[in-house]
Structure 1
Amino acid sequence: MTGSKTLIELDSTRILVDCGLFQGYKVLRERNRTPFPVDPESIDAVVLTHAHLDHSGYVPALVRDGFRGPVYTTPGTAELCGVVLPDSGYLLEEEARHASSGRWSSHRNPTPLYTAADATRSLDRFRPIGFDTTHEIARGLEFTFVPAGHILGAAGVRVSVGGRVVHFSGDLGRASDPLMRPPRPLEPATVLVTESTYGDRLHADEDPEAVFGEVVRRVAKKNGVVLIPAFAVGRTETILLHLSRLRDRGELPDIPIYLNSPMAINVAAIYERYPEEHRLDAREIERMYDLATSVHTVDDSKLLNLRGGPMIIISASGMLAGGRILHHLVAYGSDRHNAIVLTGYQAGGTRGSALLGGARSLRIFGRDVPIRAEVVAMDSLSAHADADELLAWMGAVDRPPEAVYVTHGEPAAADTLRARIKRELHWPVHVPEHLQRVGLGAHQATVSAPPPRR
């Protein structure tokens, strides 16, 4: 469900919708290192649905390797990418340094996929376009961003190709999300390309504040530490919102809360600049961030590992793929008095997915770290529409599409959603393969060679 990229070709024009990093399983991550299926220099433009790395994180590599066109995003996505992409480059460099110094890499000289400097240079290509503003890339090829909920700046993309409309859902948000406003209802399109992250499941019917309160009170009584791995964009804000409401009601123990994510701290100001996209007012945002002590420096982050409980640490990354949370796991994961709260989707092949599957040790920095802390999964915090919500969003459209392509999901999730669309909506639907080509006129699910590099 990672590494989202779709290439659209019309005559001699090429645009790439999303440019994401592959994450999770090694067989997928290795695709980040293979030559791009088409020459990056031959791509005329990139259009991003939102700032999460599985949709935007390959942009620095594409620019470094020759892409010279514009990267179109919403204003919110452009600002978030200005924080997210350099941070990604820094973490890739840090991972390579750790691998080299610890000698736990299989490569003689580990190198990052790209650097923070590569990411910063790629930001010069970004061109913000507002929602509901149609922008022409070439004659007969234009696009429009429509609100998708999910996170700040997230958009569905309606691409008009020779008069036929392809609607890319991007990552679809939820109508009941406590932070973001709901996605725009689907409008008629010739073809729908939909995500399927939660295509085979429904979100738990639970009160996240009740779960948070119970876990924190239980762990605080044991003087333990609550570790909350969280995506710096979207999820951290939702967690702080719930914790601040608990504190306001007197339902949270008076223990310190630390926000150990410089990126999440920087994101707070961006949310304040786009009040029309979320449900929070300035006062609620201020209360959320006043709740936690912000940790900026590496030295202060290391001190948290010596402090001990009781306390709450919120830190990236949400799937335990890297970042400061790994150091906290090494320090506190082996203690039964502590808890690890997983607050969203865990892609296959990640440490978060391993914990969900019952793993009692994790490979971190080249060694196996025992995990004896309580593991709590809170699926209700997800910012993705679940299977029923995806079907409801599709089914409300006035005129069905001529074809649907189910993407951005693990195989089971994508195929389960495909089957439900066929059975419940009676629409022609396919799950495309990696590098599959589809003719817009025929909508036949045929596999062929990737487009030539030119």
Structure 2
Amino acid sequence: MAAPALTFLGAAGTVTGSKFLVESGGTRLLVDCGLYQGERRWRALNWEAPPVDPATLDAVALTHAHLDHCGYLPALVRAGFTGPVHATAGTAALAAVILRDSAHLQEEEAEGARRGGWSRHDPPLPLYTVADADAAVAALRPLGEDPAVRVDGATGATVTFVPAGHILGASSVLVETGGRSVLFSGDLGRPDHPVLRPRARPPAARTVVVESTYGDRAHPEVDPEHRVMADAIRRTVRRGGSVVVPAFAVDRTEVVLLAIADLVESGAIPDVPVWVDSPMALAALDIYADPAHADEVRPEALSRLRRLPGLRTAHTAEESIRLNTPGTPCIIVSASGMATGGRVVHHLRYLLPQARNTVLLTGYQAVGTRGRDLQEGARELKMAGRYVPVRAEVVTLDDFSVHADADELLAWLGELPEPPESVHVVHGEPAAARALADGIRERFDCAVSVPRYGERVLLD
């Protein structure tokens, strides 16, 4: 029988598209099934045939519900995957919302491209449909009270989920099969997440696959008074403009709203309308507030959110469109966080050309995204086939990340009950992955690699 092996089918050489294949005898498990975002060369992989025959997979295990970790599931199911998708209850609840929203946006964008005539394809098609997303949601199998699940297959595998503190339901995933063990960090949260309780200590594993989103840097010390944000909002309101906050619908919206609530309550910013314009973000807010997930959420965070007096919600497309000409200063929190799609794109299209407005970037902006272009000083952005001038103020906020930084990633590895034999560094841009790999080599006595896309290694 062949030794258990691990193949890197995503998040290798880039920060999105997480997919990792674990094979042991006749058992095949895919850990994460993410969508590529950012640069065109990576996004093109979403349209290619799945990197593994879906019909041969026994199961999928999800670390969490962000699109770059679960967003390829509908395509996998459509291509022939019929097994279960194991996830925590929080991940399953959020993934259902995220996958359906992703499919809806893709259908909407394909139809908009057809009407506008700006696609190179005739006719333009979505990567997958809402029906495909519904089929993927039907495959989700939320965990019960036991954090471990048995994967059926010729030899079988045990998958254990350990809280990672990144978003609701986020976990590190330990796979034990054929006498080998491999731990996938997933996306690791910070020790002081303002909404979620801290992550758990990692379990022992001979092989570790660790993310490196911020592997080459340390986060600045968090300013509890959010002075950079407060100053930008006050400046914008004084000149009669609106503040647009591209924010990931899941978790980042909650964190941003919590900061705004504290600033309003302290009098640091004026009490202007605060709009949440993302159906997915509104659904995620409800999931975070669900008593079923109370063991993961800091109770005081939800009570502080409820004290935000100007909080308003835009449910319909018509309400969203009206926010492009609000008539009075306001704050618009809208997905997506890197401005790659969703309602925030049309807000940027209308509000970027006006110097009185401000865009607040609140998290990691991947190479090739509109958010990264704005962060790097772009004077124009291309949206819906046209270039839009950037005259609005653009401010990057460094204290909203819920990703562990380099020091925190090394600290997590240091908490392992015993040193691993090998560590593989993934889910980062090349410079970040290499920097973290160097840090691991200096601190730990183990083999370290930065795997290539498609690379296969035997498990220790």
TM category, shorter? over 0.9
Aligned to 1:21: 35
**Which of the residues 105, 116, 119 maps onto 1:105?**
119
Structure 2 Cα separation of the partners of residues 153 and 379 of structure 1: 24
- Does residue 328 (structure 1) correspond to residue 342 (structure 2)? The answer is no
Query: What SS is found at the alignment partner of 1:227?
Result: strand
Structure 2 Cα separation of the partners of residues 36 and 21 of structure 1: 11
State the 1:308 CA deviation: 3.5
- The aligned amino acid for 1:60 is P
* Structure 1 contact 74–131 (Cα < 8 Å) conserved: no
Structure 2 Cα separation of the partners of residues 196 and 283 of structure 1: 33
TM-score (norm 2): 0.93
State the 1:380 CA deviation: 1.5
Deviation sequence 1:321-375 (CA, Å, 0-9, x none): 0111111111110111111000000111100011111111100000000011111
What residue ranges of structure 1 are gaps of 5+ in the alignment? 442-454
Which range moved further: 137-146 or 294-303? 137-146
Structure 2 Cα separation of the partners of residues 393 and 130 of structure 1: 26
Change (3 A) 1:68 1:113: same
Deviation sequence 1:377-430 (CA, Å, 0-9, x none): 112101100011101111232311000000111111111100110012232100
Q: How does 1:84-163 map to 2 (within 5 A)?
A: 84-130=98-144, 133-138=147-152, 139-163=155-179
Aligned to 2:378: 359
State the 1:204 CA deviation: 2.2
Query: What SS is found at the alignment partner of 2:299?
Result: coil
Deviation sequence 1:420-453 (CA, Å, 0-9, x none): 1001223210011101111114xxxxxxxxxxxx
- The aligned amino acid for 1:283 is S
**Which of the residues 44, 59, 63 maps onto 1:30?**
44
Q: How does 1:202-281 map to 2 (within 5 A)?
A: 202-207=218-223, 209-273=226-290, 274-281=293-300
What residue ranges of structure 2 are gaps of 5+ in the alignment? 1-14
Structure 1 Cα separation of the partners of residues 414 and 144 of structure 2: 27
Q: How does 1:300-449 map to 2 (within 5 A)?
A: 300-441=319-460
Structure 1 Cα separation of the partners of residues 63 and 256 of structure 2: 23
Query: What SS is found at the alignment partner of 1:305?
Result: coil
- Does residue 294 (structure 1) correspond to residue 313 (structure 2)? The answer is yes
Query: What SS is found at the alignment partner of 2:365?
Result: coil
* Structure 1 contact 258–313 (Cα < 8 Å) conserved: yes
Say how many residue pairs are matched: 440
State the 1:221 CA deviation: 0.6
Structure 1 Cα separation of the partners of residues 404 and 222 of structure 2: 16
**Which of the residues 21, 24, 41 maps onto 1:7?**
21
* Structure 2 contact 244–360 (Cα < 8 Å) conserved: yes
**Which of the residues 171, 190, 193 maps onto 2:209?**
193
Change (3 A) 1:131 1:430: farther
Deviation sequence 1:225-281 (CA, Å, 0-9, x none): 100000000000001101111111122202111111111111112112212112134
* Structure 2 contact 27–156 (Cα < 8 Å) conserved: no
Query: What SS is found at the alignment partner of 2:323?
Result: helix
- Larger relative contact order (CA 8 Å, sep ≥ 6): 2
Structure 2 Cα separation of the partners of residues 398 and 46 of structure 1: 27
Deviation sequence 1:29-75 (CA, Å, 0-9, x none): 00001111221111110000000000000001101111000000000
**Which of the residues 79, 83, 89 maps onto 2:93?**
79
State the 1:131 CA deviation: 6.7
Query: What SS is found at the alignment partner of 1:236?
Result: helix
* Structure 1 contact 257–293 (Cα < 8 Å) conserved: yes
* Structure 1 contact 140–160 (Cα < 8 Å) conserved: no
* Structure 1 contact 18–46 (Cα < 8 Å) conserved: yes
* Structure 2 contact 85–141 (Cα < 8 Å) conserved: yes
- The aligned amino acid for 2:341 is G
* Structure 2 contact 162–202 (Cα < 8 Å) conserved: no
* Structure 1 contact 132–146 (Cα < 8 Å) conserved: no
Aligned to 1:175: 191
Structure 1 Cα separation of the partners of residues 236 and 328 of structure 2: 9
Structure 2 Cα separation of the partners of residues 192 and 291 of structure 1: 45
Structure 1 Cα separation of the partners of residues 186 and 459 of structure 2: 19
Aligned to 1:449: none
Query: What SS is found at the alignment partner of 2:295?
Result: helix
State the 1:307 CA deviation: 1.9
Structure 2 Cα separation of the partners of residues 13 and 118 of structure 1: 25
* Structure 2 contact 74–128 (Cα < 8 Å) conserved: yes
- The aligned amino acid for 2:254 is E
Structure 2 Cα separation of the partners of residues 243 and 283 of structure 1: 14
- The aligned amino acid for 2:261 is S
* Structure 1 contact 80–270 (Cα < 8 Å) conserved: yes
* Structure 1 contact 131–146 (Cα < 8 Å) conserved: no
Aligned to 1:452: none
State the 1:181 CA deviation: 1.8
- RMSD, aligned CA: 1.4
Query: What SS is found at the alignment partner of 1:136?
Result: strand
State the 1:286 CA deviation: 2.7
Query: What SS is found at the alignment partner of 2:77?
Result: helix
Structure 2 Cα separation of the partners of residues 190 and 306 of structure 1: 57
